[in-house]
Copies of this chain bind each other. A is one copy, B any other.
Amino acid sequence: MNIVLLGSGNVAAVLGRKFKAAGHTILQIYSRNSAAASELAYELDAESTNYKSTILKTADVYIVAVKDDAIEQVTEEIYLPGKVVAHTAASVPKEVLSRVTSHYGVFYPLQSLRKEMTRLPDVPVFFDGSDEHTKTVLASLARSIAPVQALEAGDDDRQKLHVAAVVVSNFTNHLYTLAEEYCHKEGLDFKQLLPLIEETALRIRTVSPKAAQTGPAIRHDSETIRKHLELLHGHPQLKNIYLVLTESLQTAE
């Protein structure tokens, strides 16, 4: 397909690379940030522009990959009748694009995407469309970059997936951050925890997290928990999280 990307940030960059790797053509990058637009355009063999009036009308699909609260402003005064136009936000209803075309939709990549990534990770895609044509086009685009993880999801399911994504990614990353700070303050090397972190994430491919649960909380080892809380005396933020999650683990059984 011929694709125009609106946006030049993390999502635009990684989706652009995935599209190109799947054999699609990126015709153009539109972005208010002209430096970022031309840099990404150079990488993807595309044109770039920061004028809405020069957005090409010849693409099959337009992907609006900008921050949630910028979608409305970025697409203001852009009219693409007959074209399929989709944004990439989990939490924004597809109707935000209904002024742009009658074939509007969503193309939500359920992954943490960063421009700096050197390898392209697996990216499950949840799509939605205002009509069958839009859904068919976006389904085909999704399957081209995510053969086994391209699924239709309405506004509600997408928001719920986003809640789950926050829990397994933003919150786990916060636990990593707190552990890194703790190690730093205690003179320990956080890097020594990386094999454990990776094993914990990778093993749930084959065993459910509930079945894989170990540790002092789940075995009600109150002596170890007591020692740990003592060791967390000078770390009130982590101590509070330790207490809350230990309690949650013990009620989850």
Interface residues in chain A, defined as those with a beta carbon under 8 Å from any beta carbon in chain B: 68, 91, 110-112, 114, 116-117, 121-124, 126, 149, 151, 157, 159-183, 186-190, 192-205, 207-210, 212-218, 221, 224, 227-228, 231-232, 237-238, 240-242, 244-245, 248-249, 251-252
Whether A195 pairs with B159 at a CB distance below 8 angstroms is no
Q: How far is the CB of A107 from chain B (nearest CB, A)?
A: 15
Please name all residues of chain B whose beta carbon is closer than 8 Å to the beta carbon of A157 when the two chains form the complex: 186-188
Pull 20 A–B residue pairs with CB atoms less than 8 Å apart, ordered by A.
Answer: A114-B212, A157-B188, A161-B188, A162-B228, A163-B182, A163-B231, A164-B182, A165-B193, A167-B179, A168-B176, A170-B214, A171-B249, A172-B172, A174-B245, A174-B248, A177-B208, A177-B213, A180-B208, A180-B210, A198-B201
What's the least CB distance linking A252 to chain B, in Å?
7
Q: Check A237 against B209 for contact (C-beta < 8 Å).
A: no
Known: A124-B195, A195-B121. A183 touches B164 (CB 8 A): yes
Chain B residues near A124: list those with CB within 8 A: 192, 195-196
Provide the residues of chain B in CB contact with A242, threshold 8 Å: 163, 166-167, 171
CB of B110 within 8 A of CB of A193, answer yes
Q: Is the CB of B238 within 8 A of A199?
A: no
Measured in the bound complex, the distance between the Cα atoms of B123 and A129 in whole Å is: 47
Give, as a whole number of angstroms, the nearest-CB distance from A148 to chain B. 10
* CB contact between A68 and one of B151, B163, B224 (< 8 Å): that residue: B224
Q: Are A167 and B201 closer than 8 Å at their CB atoms?
A: no
The 3 A-B pairs at the shortest CB distance, nearest first, are namely A170-B215, A201-B201, A176-B209
Nearest Cβ in chain B — how far from A210, in angstroms?
Answer: 5
Specify which chain B residues have a CB less than 8 angstroms from the CB of A123 in the assembled complex.
195
Chain B residue, CB-CB nearest to A158: B188
Q: Which residues of B contact A68 (CB under 8 A)?
A: 221, 224
Q: A179's contact among B164, B187, B244, by CB below 8 Å, is which? A: B164
Q: Among B179, B192, B221, which residue has its beta carbon within 8 angstroms of that of A151?
A: B192
Q: Given that A111-B195, A175-B167, A238-B167 are known contacts, is A188 also in contact with B160, CB under 8 Å in the complex?
A: yes
